[in-house]
Amino acid sequence: MLDEAMRRAIAASELVRGTTSPNPPVGAVVLDRDGEVVGVGATQPPGGPHAEVVALAEAGGRARGGTAVVTLEPCSHHGRTPPCTGALLAAGVARVRYAVADPNPKAAGGGAVLRAAGVDAEGGLLAVEVERGPLRAWLHFARTGRPHVTWKYASTLDGRVAAADRTSRWISSEESRAQVHLLRTRIDAIMVGTGTVRADDPSLTARGIPEARQPLRVVVGEGDLPPGAKVSDGGAETLHVRTHDPDEVLAELAARGVVDVLLEGGPTLAGAFVAAGRVDRVLTYVAPKLLGAGPVALGDAGVATITDAVGLVVEEVSMCGPDVRISAVPVGLDG
């Protein structure tokens, strides 16, 4: 019952991912005394109520004596909104189960506050699923101070990202492209280099989704953008960071409250971020095609010999139409 409730909370948090930064996209489910779901909530945009408050409002009086299941430890501090621990105590819940302790020292300690007030509060419920889910980027940001970077690319089965004549549309399937456009609506920023802008003139927007939320478009590099580039249109906000240093780029984005970044640049930019140890996840769509020639996904990543190879741990392999979708994280970041 509690596992099912936590998975429902994770699903609720996924629906708001990308809308809450720099706050975490938390999901919450309230069960009544009999274990029936009476409230579901997710964190609203900054300044709005947190997940627990939304779920408790839906539950009303049926929350008293029941259980709250939350993806992140309830906050115990008064920021833009009152502490969620206070809302849970006022609602009279008897039990709280959360997945992950809050790594933010200003907000941490909610579990202890609840226990001191007589609530049966305990963490660790489906913690691995939550750590890999919608909270992944925020947890990384809270622990490191850096935005979380997912390097996303599509390639053929022989590792090419374009043909010898540089054409690349379309390597991946329609299903994969649709999934990526949905992903774009749920992250804070899309990043490419000036070389990609000059070569491909990408829009870097989420398309095919009505009223899609558009992420910040980030272009990295010292050179000017070409006149009329699509990234300069009014489709979304664009930030040009005039440096080649990954840490300088991420510091600039962190200062703007950017938590979750999708790196869609070419091999040079990807190589720079891999070499700097600033790729936190690799997401690839491998199409069942062969080209035999053409550019590859990754440029110079500082690997001189096989013993220097960047080791990855595969988290998930799935099909997306005819393509194979692989999610992997560098060794040491897999928990």
Active site residue 122: no
Cα 223–229–233 angle (5° rounding)? 120
List the catalytic residue out of 36, 52, 252, 264: 52
Taking the C-alpha atoms of residue 286 and residue 267, their distance in angstroms, rounded to an integer, is 16
Residue 36, number of CB atoms within 10 A of its CB: 11
| Angle, helices 51-59/2-16, rounded to nearest 10 degrees | 120
Q: Which residues of 200-219 are buried (b: 16+ CB within 10 A; e: fewer)?
A: bebbbbbeeeeeeebbbbbb
What's the sign of the alpha-carbon dihedral 184, 189, 191, 197?
Answer: positive
- 203 contacts 230 by C-beta, under 8 angstroms: yes
* Cα–Cα distance measured from residue 51 to residue 71, given in angstroms and rounded to the nearest whole number: 9
CA dihedral 303, 305, 311, 316 (to 10 degrees): 90
Residue 218's contacts (CB-CB under 8 Å, 6 or more residues apart) are 189, 190, 191, 192, 238, 239, 240, 241, 249, 253, 261
Classify 64 as helix, strand or coil. coil
Q: How many residues does the chain have?
A: 335
Q: Are 162 and 220 in contact (CB under 8 A)?
A: no
The dihedral of CA 181, 316, 11, 192: what is its sign?
Answer: negative
Pairing of the two strands 323-330 and 216-220 = unpaired
Tell me which residues are annotated as active site.
52
